[in-house]
Structure 1
Amino acid sequence: MSADQLLGKIHLGDPRSVARAISLVEDQAEIGPYIMQGLDQQRLDRVLTVGITGPPGAGKSTLTSSLVQQLRLREIRVGVIAVDPSSPLTHGALLGDRIRMMEHALDRDVVVRSMATRGRLGGLCAAAGATMRIMLLQAAGLF
């Protein structure tokens, strides 16, 4: 699938295309920069971004889940990027945060994406910023 085809599906709100684009950007695929250039910056400028951070066990997932619940009561679409430590075996995300937010799994207007730190210090992976831009368009319903 070309970058233009993928972007077209992203702008239509197709969750699989959003997931595919995130994976391509996260994996630093050749098509990644074209996807990022094709995102609509004017739409992104209208979206609220909230970051929640803290040490293990501080309640970040619980707070995030409660925040998602409150936003959904107001019929606001939500996207969550949960950055988890990397598995020493697969180097993928351990999925702890995603598992703790399972109550939102069947809600089509909540998108939760787990990403691994991939050994990067500081709690964020290199692709988190780019992924957030893709996810915001999907979650905000700005298509």
Structure 2
Amino acid sequence: MSTNEELLEDLLAGKHRALARVISKIEDRAPGYRELVSALYAHTGEADVIGITGSPGAGKSTLVDKLAETYRDRGETVGIIAIDPSSPFTGGAVLGDRIRMASTVGDMDV
């Protein structure tokens, strides 16, 4: 099992599996998750955080896709957390939106 320090080091090195482990640890509130969040904050405190809401079909996915493309054109990495708390099918997760964000599909820094 990875220590918080190892997870953080791997995450900052761009290892995608580390990202998955970090998210799971925080979501599960596993032992040490608060310390991990604190350690992460020192590296993310300057990140832009943008929230987008709207009715179905309003163009949220298209807007997010274009924003991600703009950030990538500037050489920045992008994280997108798409949720739909009203979805009776997924209970909150939205996986289909990634398909509609065509300009960044295959970009491992999104």
Is TM more than 0.5 here?
yes
**Which residue of structure 2 lines up, in the alignment, with residue 6 of structure 1?**
7
Q: Which amino acid in structure 2 is aligned with residue 13 of structure 1?
A: G
Matched, 1:69 2:69: yes
Matched, 1:109 2:109: yes
Quick check: which one's strand share is greater?
1
**Which residue of structure 1 lines up, in the alignment, with residue 29 of structure 2?**
28
Query: For structure 1, which runs of at least 5 residues remain unmatched after alignment?
Result: 111-143
**Which residue of structure 2 lines up, in the alignment, with residue 123 of structure 1?**
none
**Which residue of structure 2 lines up, in the alignment, with residue 116 of structure 1?**
none
**Which residue of structure 2 lines up, in the alignment, with residue 82 of structure 1?**
82
Which structure has more relative contact order (CA 8 Å, sep 6+)? It is 1
The Cα of 1:65 is off from its aligned counterpart by 0.5
Matched, 1:38 2:42: no
Output the CA distance in 2 between the equivalents of 1:26 and 1:18.
12
More off after superposition, 95-104 vs 82-91: 82-91
Output the CA distance in 1 between the equivalents of 2:51 and 2:109.
19
The Cα of 1:60 is off from its aligned counterpart by 0.6
On the 8 A contact 1:84/1:95 being kept in 2, the answer is no
Output the CA distance in 2 between the equivalents of 1:72 and 1:40.
22
On the 8 A contact 1:85/1:94 being kept in 2, the answer is no
Q: Which amino acid in structure 2 is aligned with residue 5 of structure 1?
A: E
Distance 1:85-1:99 versus aligned 2 partners, 3 A rule? farther
TM-score (norm 2): 0.78
On the 8 A contact 2:61/2:101 being kept in 1, the answer is yes
On the 8 A contact 2:10/2:18 being kept in 1, the answer is yes
The sequence identity of aligned pairs, in percent, is 45
Aligned residues: 109
Q: How well do the aligned residues superpose, as a CA RMSD in angstroms? A: 2.4
